[in-house]
Amino acid sequence: MTQAMHEDKIKRLYHIKKLSEEGGGPERISAQHSKGKLTARERISLLLDQDSFVEIDKYVIHRNDDPSTKTYFGDGVLTGFGTIDGRKVFVYVYDFTVLGGSLGEMAGKKIVKVMDHALKVGVPIIGILDSGGARIQEGVVSLDGYGDIFYRNTLASGIIPQITASIGPCAGGAVYSPAMTDFIIMVEHIGQMFVTGPEVVHEVLGQEVSFEELGGAITHASKSGVAHFVAKDEYACIDKIKKLLSYIPQNNSEFPPIVNTGDDPNRIDSALASILPENPYEQYDMKQIVKTIVDDGDFFEIHELFAENVIVGFARMGGRSIGIVANQPLYLAGALDIHSSNKAARFIRFCDCYNIPIVTLVDTPGYLPGTDQEHNGIIRHGSKLLYSYCEASVPKITCIIGKAYGGAYIAMGSKNLRADVNFAWPTAEIAVLGPEAAITIIHRRDLKKSEDLAKTKKALAKEYREKFANPYIAAEKGIIDLVIDPMETRPMIIRALDTLSTKREIHPWKKHGNINL
């Protein structure tokens, strides 16, 4: 009876609901599909648990000062909340079918609303970008929208995880908000990020560059470091978002979920020592060691293609989420440089924000020398690594596997940077300088006198290694807590993680530190 009475009103609702759900209309939807892209609604249904999405501001219309232009409900962005694997999230997903997903005044207000909600509720916010940037027709109010979003990104930083996926063009203002979030995932051949597009580059600089080369997924994952992950398609991108969320808590006052992985915490592996070559100049893959010690060999690597001389990523040990930071001797012999310092520092700071313990595996000959590094600011960038380890109050466990020389020994989670538990393998070489550099200084006279220089150098380096480049001098001084058999690395780290899980560290009050950006 009541239904019949209000039939017209209910019909009207379904009419505008349909219009809103059509976005830019059937033609634009098929254009989106023909570019190999899913629509905003299809993306949301992949991302969120079935039937969990509650869309808000579905009937917001764009600022329309020109009555001859078409009215679009939703204003080019879908916003709302739902769950992923049962955990609450807020989302905003740009709809390229409406005015190229450009950000107008009302779209800006919609995004700000869900960001405010996510911050109050204390849950992650996920943005999917496919946007032409500031809506040109709306002028300054669209710039206003970006400004408001940037402010929310900053407020939310360190309180709730913020994740962005670039599944389409992200131009102009559309790139800076992602850059202020914690993680960016780009889809190969579809995601593009640039402040100014190829046409402007050509006009201003006369340079010819393709979209892909300028700001494609591989460019940003390998050269600029803007993208933390590359996904081969949209489905893989959504899977990565879900996996990433599984390692992290809902907000900074919670701990990450503990997962029963079924992998025995006491599992030892006698093959571990043999991964490290006898000859310290031979290369090996540190990822093999990482995969051997973590639960089920499951290592979720971040920045896989960027600054490969350091490895960072999430894993679980004894079911607990951990952040791994490790030197990679396969690249630059594991030396630290500008990019790797930035990469590791940012990751450490993320882990520290969200109560994720840091496990550091060390094998580095030092900081990379040279004019290129010095002139581009290795002092400034390298110091960020020191700063972020010192600042981090989460449990920190370090294990020195091979070389740990000079400043890089200190930087890679040393005791002085407030690591809680420091292990070393018997193969660790902890000293001020590597043997070759050290002997040229302390044995200068012997080398000058030598008749067979190569032979003398070899003998002196051997003597130096035995005398200085081992873990026992550090262990005698308590700088290393324990020298362990490589095969017991996993159980020892897990025991330390369990014990440190209730660690609390109080810092003197300050507004915020002044990291050397």
Active site members? 172-173, 407-408
**Distance of alpha carbon 55 from alpha carbon 113, whole angstroms:** 12
Minimum distance of ligand HXC from residue 133's CB (angstroms): 3
Minimum distance of ligand HXC from residue 191's CB (angstroms): 12
| CB nearer to ligand HXC: pick between 133 and 471 | 133
The answer to whether 105 and 144 are in contact (CB under 8 A) is yes
The answer to whether 436 and 462 are in contact (CB under 8 A) is no
Q: What Cα–Cα distance (Å) separates residue 112 from each residue in 57, 177, 411?
A: 12, 12, 39
Q: Is 496 helix (H, G, I), strand (E, B) or coil?
A: helix
Q: Which two tokens stand for residue 283?
A: 């290369």
Minimum distance of ligand HXC from residue 351's CB (angstroms): 29
| CB nearer to ligand HXC: pick between 100 and 178 | 100
| CB nearer to ligand HXC: pick between 208 and 451 | 208
| CB nearer to ligand HXC: pick between 142 and 309 | 142
| CB nearer to ligand HXC: pick between 100 and 402 | 100
Which residues of this chain interact with ligand HXC, rule CB under 6 A?
99-100, 102, 132-137, 143, 146, 169, 171-173, 176, 197
CA-wise closest residue to 290 among 496, 492, 490:
490
Helix axes 435-442, 453-467, angle to 10 degrees: 110
The answer to whether 89 and 82 are in contact (CB under 8 A) is yes
Q: With helix as H, strand as E and coil as C, how does 283-348 read?
A: CCCHHHHHHHHCHHHCCEEECCCCCCCEEEEEEEECCEEEEEEEECCCCHHHCECHHHHHHHHHHH
* Greatest CA separation for the chain: 109
Q: Is 429 helix (H, G, I), strand (E, B) or coil?
A: strand
Minimum distance of ligand HXC from residue 134's CB (angstroms): 3
Q: What Cα–Cα distance (Å) separates residue 192 from each residue in 220, 273, 361?
A: 9, 43, 34
Minimum distance of ligand HXC from residue 110's CB (angstroms): 17
Minimum distance of ligand HXC from residue 485's CB (angstroms): 55
**Distance of alpha carbon 414 from alpha carbon 422, whole angstroms:** 7
Q: Which two tokens stand for residue 401?
A: 């596997």
| CB nearer to ligand HXC: pick between 134 and 241 | 134
